[in-house]
């Protein structure tokens, strides 16, 4: 049976739990140096990225290789997309090479879901527009669960450009599904329309966001959007919304700071915080490989391309 992983909204609590538990096994294996497993021997995993990526693409390709699958990567710059080939034609071409899983990142919301309807390979959404980035949310949840033991009851503050962030959207849906309490804090211009209807509390000030939080998740300020004047200056942004050591004093004891990367040092998060022991950005990267191994196994294991 074909299995796709497109949004956190589609994933059940049971499925998320199963993937997180399986990721424990995968993480232990790679930390023990077992990077030549044969769980996906003979499977063909293809990454198709229409947007830049370091973490997501390399972690998927590493995950596939560690499980014994072949991993091929294709980006727009080196492909026939540059000659005008359409999204569906490109995906179907890769599918006909007997791909078992196609992992796609695209600037258009819904692109992975469209591809999923046209190919026999399982499709994984690696980020689509401002819509969803479910595998980032999965690795973030894994990181929190690993640190705190469970997600239920955790207070998680997501701070920054919530409006343009697919990471925020997937974490709001996924974390609330798993029983965590999610708060968001951003300038009004960086808050999406309808946020009050989502399962999260909208904070009016930094005190509300930081006080009582177990996890502070900083989001990248998308400087390429700064021309639109969504906030006065990066200095003022840092002063009112930045994650600083001083503000972390308001959080619960044992608070951790997370960031999906890439981070703008000294803007959404201070350098001393980013480089401190409370920041779990490096754990997030390793956990990204482990969770994507678990996910690839789930997508590929029974894949018979029927
Ligand atoms: N967090 C994340 O998606 O990073 P990349 O853009 O480097 O993949």
Residues 144-192 have pLDDT tens digits of: 999 999 999 999 999 999 999 999 999 999 999 999 999 999 999 999 9
Q: Which domain holds residue 222?
A: 134-281
Give the Å distance between the CA of 204 and the centre of ligand 1. 29
| CA-nearest residue, atom 1 of ligand 1 | 260
Q: From the CB of 222, is ligand 1 less than 6 Å away?
A: no
Q: Is residue 4 part of a domain?
A: no
User: Which atom number of ligand 1 is nearest to the Cα of residue 133?
Assistant: 3
Q: From the CB of 287, is ligand 1 less than 6 Å away?
A: no
Q: Is residue 148 part of a domain?
A: yes
152 and 123 in one domain?
A: no
Q: Give the Å distances, CA to CA, from 282 to 53, 82, 140, 253.
A: 16, 34, 12, 21
29 and 118 in one domain?
A: yes
Q: Is the pLDDT of residue 249 over 80?
A: yes
- DSSP per-residue string spanning 91-134: HHHHHTTT-SEEEEEESSTTHHHHHHHH-SSEEEEEEETTTB-H
| CA-nearest residue, atom 6 of ligand 1 | 53
Q: Is the pLDDT of residue 226 over 80?
A: no
Are 171 and 164 within 8 A, CB to CB? Answer: no
Of the residues 47, 51, 56, which should be mutated to test ligand 1's pocket, given the most ligand atoms within 8 Å of the CB? 56
Are 174 and 145 within 8 A, CB to CB? Answer: no
Which of 63, 50, 134, 131 has its CA nearest to residue 101? 63
89 and 119 in one domain?
A: yes
| Band (16; pLDDT cuts 50, 70, 90) | very high
Helices 134-148 and 281-300, axial angle in degrees (round to 10): 120
Contact residues for 12 (Cβ-Cβ < 8 A; gap 6+): none
| pLDDT computed for residue 223 by the predictor | 77
155 and 110 in one domain?
A: no
User: Which atom number of ligand 1 is nearest to the Cα of residue 261?
Assistant: 1
116 and 56 in one domain?
A: yes
* Rg from Cα positions in the chain: 19
Looking at the chain, the whole-number percentage of residues with pLDDT higher than 70 is 99
Q: Which CATH number fits the domain that encloses residue 127?
A: 3.40.50.1370
| CA-nearest residue, atom 3 of ligand 1 | 56
255 and 141 in one domain?
A: yes
151 and 59 in one domain?
A: no
Contact residues for 28 (Cβ-Cβ < 8 A; gap 6+): none
Q: Give the Å distances, CA to CA, from 65 to 43, 97, 125, 261, 287.
A: 10, 18, 19, 23, 16
Q: Is residue 38 part of a domain?
A: yes
Q: Is residue 5 part of a domain?
A: no
CA-CA distance, 144 to 148, in Å (whole number)? 6
305 phi-psi bin (left φ>0, alpha ψ -120 to 50, beta other): left
Helices 13-31 and 134-148, axial angle in degrees (round to 10): 70
- How many residues can be counted in the chain? 306
Check: pTM over 0.85? Answer yes or no.
yes
291 and 162 in one domain?
A: no
Q: From the CB of 56, is ligand 1 less than 6 Å away?
A: yes
Which of 279, 278, 182, 187 has its CA nearest to residue 228? 187
157 and 70 in one domain?
A: no
Which of 160, 101, 107, 102 has its CA nearest to residue 132? 107
Q: Is residue 1 part of a domain?
A: no
User: Which atom number of ligand 1 is nearest to the Cα of residue 51?
Assistant: 6
Q: Is the pLDDT of residue 227 over 70?
A: no
pLDDT in tens, 68-90: 999 999 998 888 999 999 999 99
User: Which atom number of ligand 1 is nearest to the Cα of residue 52?
Assistant: 6
User: Which atom number of ligand 1 is nearest to the Cα of residue 127?
Assistant: 3
Of the residues 47, 48, 49, 54, which should be mutated to test ligand 1's pocket, given the most ligand atoms within 8 Å of the CB? 54
> Number of folded domains in the chain?
2
| CA-nearest residue, atom 4 of ligand 1 | 55
291 and 258 in one domain?
A: no
Of the residues 218, 261, 284, 292, which should be mutated to test ligand 1's pocket, given the most ligand atoms within 8 Å of the CB? 261
Give the Å distance between the CA of 280 and the centre of ligand 1. 15
138 and 34 in one domain?
A: no
91 and 25 in one domain?
A: yes
């Amino acid at each position: 049976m074909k299995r796709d992983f497109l949004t956190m909204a589609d994933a059940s609590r049971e499925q998320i739990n199963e993937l997180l538990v399986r990721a424990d096994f995968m993480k232990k294996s790679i930390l023990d140096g077992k990077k030549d497993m044969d769980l996906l021997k003979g499977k063909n995993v293809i990454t198709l990225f229409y947007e830049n990526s370091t973490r997501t693409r390399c972690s998927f390709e590493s995950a596939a290789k560690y499980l014994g699958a072949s991993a091929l990567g294709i980006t727009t710059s080196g492909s026939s997309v540059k000659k005008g080939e359409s999204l569906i034609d490109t995906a179907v071409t890769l599918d006909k090479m007997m791909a078992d899983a196609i992992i796609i990142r695209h600037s258009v919301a819904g692109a992975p879901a469209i591809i999923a309807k046209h190919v026999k390979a399982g499709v994984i959404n690696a980020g689509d527009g401002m819509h969803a980035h479910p595998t980032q949310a999965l690795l973030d949840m894994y990181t929190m669960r690993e640190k705190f033991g469970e997600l239920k009851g955790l207070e998680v503050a997501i701070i920054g450009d919530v409006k343009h962030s697919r990471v925020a959207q997937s974490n709001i849906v996924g974390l609330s599904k798993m029983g965590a309490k999610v708060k968001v804090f951003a300038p009004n211009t960086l808050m999406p329309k309808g946020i009050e209807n989502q399962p999260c509390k909208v904070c009016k000030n930094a005190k509300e966001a930081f006080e009582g939080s177990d996890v502070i998740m900083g989001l990248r300020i998308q400087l390429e959007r700064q021309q639109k004047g969504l906030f006065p200056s990066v200095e003022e942004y840092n002063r009112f919304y930045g994650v600083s050591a001083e503000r972390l004093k308001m959080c619960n004891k044992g608070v951790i700071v997370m960031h999906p990367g890439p981070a703008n040092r000294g803007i959404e998060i201070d350098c001393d915080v980013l480089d401190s022991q409370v920041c779990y950005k490096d754990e997030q990267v390793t956990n990204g490989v482990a969770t994507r191994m678990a996910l690839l196994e789930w997508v590929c294991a029974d894949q018979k391309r029927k």
